[in-house]
């Protein structure tokens, strides 16, 4: 028998030993949520519940496997008959047994993201829609639009209006594609990942006998990370648990940050409304952070109105207060972060015990550069390094061609953005261009265009017009910033972003920030050389080195569920945290505050918050930034107050 009282704290013990019924477990950051779930399953088995009558839903198969392996080690016998895994894998298991009820063969296939995009492409071909001519979004974007509509139970119009307003005029065509896509999947006897959830719920809704069988089979249903469920997942759980009503959901409403992916914050918030007889438990004992870090976190999240009030309590002894650093500008902020990391490393802190977190990828641009200069090893968890992103390399390829007209790699990237110019066609064009004294001048001549392969001529003409547009700038005005502006506003690159990427707005912000950043260099050649140097330095790292001890740079979203001894949250200025465009979304400010809370609670030993006081925008000149409202609202008026949640440092260069 497991000594539950000895191995669990009182909060965890009450959850683990509760008899049954609907249970809502509000598990604060670092409170041992996984441990509690694991021991709960072990307790059910010890009480004689057959493993095949337990369902455990998680958001990753790895999490389910880890918990079930731990259960086996605790009870000393197999837990293999427990149905545990992601919502998608659980739905898949159920659908395999009852596929015929939905007019599917039990041998139906599951298509991955790439296959789904190919079927959408086929649907467009069936409808005679030429994406290149009609300025349609690419099939990757269409897939995301359709997916979001399914997972949020929204109309396509609502999704387009809220997330993709630049495609609203194409609503009838997108509707047709979505219908044809659904038809083709049925004809091919395949389901995509969204179908697994939608059809799983449909099976339970439309077939009472199936619902009766499954709801009676699963005596206990447990759900991890409940705050991240969407409407389909929540209803599936409700239906499966409807027989015995032994439903335990575990999550933290204060860490609900994925509405952009379709997660519905209301699922956890309204659980007591759907289950008026539910018992609510709070896990508020935090094993991760110092009291000082938790004090700041509690003060911040308590500003939200829509929440279950809770207050994290530290097990650990006193540490040092978080530090708020106001830096002169983004360069001074980057210098501080890199310098402090270097000092900590010299003091014996492993690089892997430190992380730099930020709201948007472009906020890390200067920090990346400074860490490269100082030879500090780091990994990016928010994507690839800023200067290696496709859209950054796209716009800089135009600059490279203007500065060095014989740059074959730049020409290759530039031309292949245009219709009907692929690898083979480019090779043919370049074979002729490279023989010219100045390939740029040669391409601009109408006579050269006439000799190009006919299918590529329209694309080359667009390329030619864009280059002429850039060359219309006076030489002194031919700066990276102005080139970026022209490409976005007149050269068609904004449309290219919208057609190609679901995060087009964020990528456009990246480019605007790149333009602002470029003003630090006297010439475009100097700017391009700096980018090339940074890119080459990162490429010199081999695979083995990338596994070594490294500082983690990550967006806050990507950092959820992780922890580090030392955490730097940069860009804690209003408009950056919270992000200005996120505030326009319904409930945006509260979700941004939850995001800030998630960032703060990643820190174990020391937390640094920093922001630039001055920033530069090419459109508005020098801007004065204020500290984030999430910082201001928790700071007592008196700087001498012992309860002040942070110390303040100011870093300005001597004048």
Residue 225 a catalytic site member: yes
CA–CA dist 641, 414 (Å, integer): 58
CA–CA dist 308, 356 (Å, integer): 29
Residue 602 a catalytic site member: yes
Instruction: Name which of 489, 570, 479, 466 is nearest 516 in CA terms.
Output: 479
CA–CA dist 590, 580 (Å, integer): 13
Secondary structure (3-state) at 20: coil
CA–CA dist 129, 616 (Å, integer): 44
Q: What are phi and psi of 249, to 5 degrees?
A: -110, 135
In the block, residue with structure tokens 């925008």: 617
Q: Single out the catalytic residue among 33, 121, 138, 332.
A: 33
Q: Single out the catalytic residue among 17, 34, 303, 558.
A: 34
Secondary structure (3-state) at 564: strand
CA–CA dist 18, 266 (Å, integer): 25
Q: Single out the catalytic residue among 11, 192, 194, 224.
A: 224
Q: What are phi and psi of 265, to 5 degrees?
A: -55, -30
Sign of CA dihedral 580, 585, 586, 591: negative
CA–CA dist 70, 42 (Å, integer): 9
Helix (H) or strand (E) holding 510: helix 504-518
Q: How far is CA 59 from each of CA 86, 192, 279, 561, rounded to the nearest angstrom?
A: 5, 17, 24, 12
Helix (H) or strand (E) holding 553: strand 551-555
Q: Single out the catalytic residue among 40, 385, 478, 602.
A: 602
Retrieve residue 346's tokens: 């010299």
C-alpha torsion 483→486→491→496, nearest 10: 80
The answer to whether 24 and 252 are in contact (CB under 8 A) is no
Helix (H) or strand (E) holding 327: strand 323-327
Q: How far is CA 415 from each of CA 133, 458, 466, 492, 551, rounded to the nearest angstrom?
A: 17, 12, 11, 14, 37
β-strand 621-624 against 614-617: which pairing, if any? antiparallel
Q: Single out the catalytic residue among 12, 229, 233, 255.
A: 255
CA–CA dist 100, 138 (Å, integer): 34
β-strand 603-612 against 614-617: which pairing, if any? unpaired
Retrieve residue 492's tokens: 């068609």
The answer to whether 534 and 387 are in contact (CB under 8 A) is yes
Q: How far is CA 316 from each of CA 305, 319, 606, rounded to the nearest angstrom?
A: 29, 8, 13
Residue 34 a catalytic site member: yes
CA–CA dist 650, 614 (Å, integer): 13
Q: Single out the catalytic residue among 225, 235, 264, 335.
A: 225
CA–CA dist 220, 53 (Å, integer): 7
Give the count of beta carbons closer than 10 Å to the beta carbon of residue 88: 18
Residues annotated catalytic, as ranges? 33-34, 224-225, 255, 602
């Amino acid at each position: 028998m497991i000594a539950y009282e000895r191995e669990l704290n009182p909060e965890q013990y009450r959850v683990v030993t509760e008899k049954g019924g609907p249970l809502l477990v509000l598990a604060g950051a670092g409170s041992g949520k996984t441990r509690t779930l694991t021991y709960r399953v072990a307790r059910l088995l010890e009480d004689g519940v057959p493993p095949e009558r337990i369902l455990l839903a998680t958001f990753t198969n790895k999490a389910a496997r880890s918990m079930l392996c731990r259960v086996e080690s605790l009870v000393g016998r197999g837990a293999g008959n427990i149905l545990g895994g992601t919502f998608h894998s659980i739905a898949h298991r159920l659908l395999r047994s009852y596929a015929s009820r939905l007019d599917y063969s039990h041998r139906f296939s599951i298509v991955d993201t790439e296959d789904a995009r190919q079927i959408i492409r086929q649907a467009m071909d069936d409808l005679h829609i030429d994406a290149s001519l009609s300025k349609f979004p690419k099939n990757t974007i269409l897939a995301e639009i359709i997916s979001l509509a399914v997972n949020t139970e929204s109309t396509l119009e609502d999704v387009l209006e809220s997330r993709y307003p630049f495609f609203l005029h194409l609503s009838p065509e997108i509707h047709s594609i979505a219908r044809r896509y659904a038809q083709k999947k049925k004809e091919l006897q395949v389901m995509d990942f969204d179908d697994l959830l939608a059809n799983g719920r449909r099976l339970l809704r439309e077939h009472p006998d199936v619902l009766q069988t499954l709801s009676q089979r699963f005596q206990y249903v447990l759900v991890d990370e409940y705050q991240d469920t969407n409407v389909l997942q929540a209803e599936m759980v409700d239906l499966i648990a409807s027989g015995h009503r032994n439903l335990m959901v575990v999550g933290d409403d204060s860490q609900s940050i994925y509405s952009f992916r379709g997660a519905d914050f209301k699922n956890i918030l309204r659980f007591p409304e759907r289950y008026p007889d539910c018992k609510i438990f709070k896990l508020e004992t935090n094993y991760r952070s110092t009291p000082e870090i938790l004090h700041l976190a509690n003060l911040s999240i308590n500003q939200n109105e829509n929440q279950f009030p809770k207050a994290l309590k530290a097990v650990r002894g006193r540490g040092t207060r978080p530090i708020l650093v106001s830096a002169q500008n983004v360069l001074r902020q980057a210098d501080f972060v890199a310098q402090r990391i270097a000092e900590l490393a010299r003091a014996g802190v492993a690089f892997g015990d430190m992380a730099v977190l930020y709201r948007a990828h472009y906020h890390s641009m200067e920090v990346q550069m400074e860490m490269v200069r100082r030879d500090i090893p780091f990994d990016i968890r928010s994507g690839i390094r800023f200067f290696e992103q496709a859209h950054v390399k796209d716009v800089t390829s135009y600059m490279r061609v203007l500065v060095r007209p014989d740059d074959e790699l730049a020409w290759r990237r530039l031309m292949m953005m245009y219709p009907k110019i692929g690898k083979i066609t480019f090779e043919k064009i370049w074979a002729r261009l490279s023989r010219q004294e100045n390939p740029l001048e040669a391409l601009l001549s109408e006579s050269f265009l006439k000799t190009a392969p006919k299918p590529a001529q329209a694309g080359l003409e667009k390329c030619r017009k864009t280059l002429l547009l850039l060359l219309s700038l006076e030489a002194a005005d031919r700066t990276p910033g102005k080139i970026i502006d022209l490409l976005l506003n007149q050269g068609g690159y904004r449309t290219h972003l919208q057609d190609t990427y679901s995060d087009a707005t964020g990528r456009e912000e990246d480019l605007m920030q790149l333009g602002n950043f470029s003003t630090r260099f006297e010439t475009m050649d100097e700017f391009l050389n700096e980018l090339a140097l940074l890119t080459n330095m990162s490429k010199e790292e081999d695979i083995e080195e990338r596994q070594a001890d490294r500082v983690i740079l990550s967006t806050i979203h990507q950092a959820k569920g992780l922890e580090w001894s030392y955490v730097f949250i940069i860009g804690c200025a209003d408009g950056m945290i919270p992000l200005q465009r996120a505030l326009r979304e319904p409930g945006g400010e509260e979700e941004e505050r939850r995001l800030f809370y998630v960032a703060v609670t990643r820190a174990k030993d020391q937390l640094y918050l920093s922001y630039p006081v001055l920033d530069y925008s090419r459109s508005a000149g020098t801007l004065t930034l204020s500290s984030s409202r999430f910082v201001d609202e928790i700071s007592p008026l008196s700087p001498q107050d012992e309860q002040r949640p942070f110390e303040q440092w100011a870093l300005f260069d001597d004048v």
